[in-house]
Amino acid sequence: MASSASFPAQPSGATGCLVLADGTVVWGRGFGAQGNAVGEVCFNTAMTGYQEVMTDPSYDSQIVTFTFPHIGNVGANAEDVESKDHGAVGCIVREDVTPQSNFRSEHEFDEWMRAAGKIGLAGVDTRALTRRIRMSGAPNAVIAHNASGKFDLDALLTKAQSWPGLEGLDLVPSVTREAREDWGGGEWTLGKGYARADWANKPHVVALDFGAKDNIFRNLVQAGAKVTVVPGKTALEDVLALKPDGVFLSNGPGDPAATGAYAVPVIKGLLERDVPLFGICLGHQMLALAAGARTVKMHQGHRGANHPVQRVGSGWGETAELVEITSMNHGFAVDGDSLPDGVEQTHVSLFDGSNCGIAITGKKAFGVQYHPEASPGPQDSFYLFEKFVGMLT
């Protein structure tokens, strides 16, 4: 373990720092909440949507480095929140957060981060930090902010080194809903906000919440479904008791193999009963596990709103081999080489060839690694919600 003598001198005016588990200290200017938080440092290449990123439960126990330098310049508002109490523990940005300049803004980003209990660190060479992650993988670290500029670096280093990391970690219990919820929100329009859902004569989708983004449920409603959201640990018999026409498997944080210890048997039970299934991100990974495939921890992961994905599976007709621009956030992936007979690879990443989609032969069951509800294309992937809901009627 590094001693305090090996730490770099603290620059004048530094009110925040990032302490990596290998003893590296990155100084900067803190904003948002004061205190410290431990997590895995990753990077996100999106130019917009920072508030959605910070409130995405899939980022639980992660510290997000934004590669786009101007984060916070459009402020924050209540409509762009993906979950009320979850998401990334902190973020790292290049430039200081400037006063907001957007007609939809309700709060300054610094103010919103402080109210949300999230720690920010500005004035960091995010390009150098991103290159380090790309070369060496996503490190464990502690992000800290103290307006007085006083830090116990030895204690922060110990905390970073003691944290076990995401591999083997089930984080779903800390981000899932505690009770069943009938989802009532629909499509958003400027000036009107989110519409109310019309449930009349709509197929019923039961969504297993492993740390879901709210916009996924809005897209299911927009595609024509009635949605009931249940906790991620809901038993098979309780899911079936709701008489679903189909079951959605949500995104979420942590290691899919760890969450799969209780979720995979439920998914297998649904497959045996020919219940239509659609999984996104973590849900996609656990659908693959239930079908007999493996998942692996990625070197740096995929996070951003500009990831090209190609359709490679059969049955696409005129859109075969079409490329979608997608939004991604995952540090684990399905091992494409482990897909058993009867499981078809339907999408692949054009960045590294990793698996981005599967379909199970003879079943109405499919999943994608990316986030179609994030609309980075902006509508490249909405067909997936329509495809799923179309299976139910």
State the catalytic residues: 281, 371, 373
- Torsion over CA: 314, 317, 323, 328 (sign): negative
Which residues of the chain form beta strands (DSSP E)? Answer: 16-20, 25-32, 35-44, 62-66, 90-92, 119-122, 140-145, 181-182, 185-189, 193-196, 204-209, 226-231, 246-249, 277-280, 295-311, 323-334, 343-349, 355-360, 365-368
85, 208, 228, 279, 365 from 231: Cα distances, Å: 15, 6, 10, 15, 21
Tally of CA atoms within 13 A in the half-sphere of 78 that contains its CB: 2
Strand bridging mode 90-92 / 62-66: parallel
Beta bridge partners of 180: none
Q: Helix 256-272 crosses helix 282-290 at what angle (to 10 degrees)?
A: 60
Please choose, from the candidates 228, 222, 269, the residue with its C-alpha nearest in 3D space to the C-alpha of residue 248.
Answer: 228
Q: Helix 383-391 crosses helix 214-222 at what angle (to 10 degrees)?
A: 60
- Alpha carbons 344 and 272: distance in angstroms, whole number: 18
- Alpha carbons 147 and 14: distance in angstroms, whole number: 9
Helices (H), 242-376: 256-272, 282-290
Q: Which residue has the tokens 């969504």?
A: 207
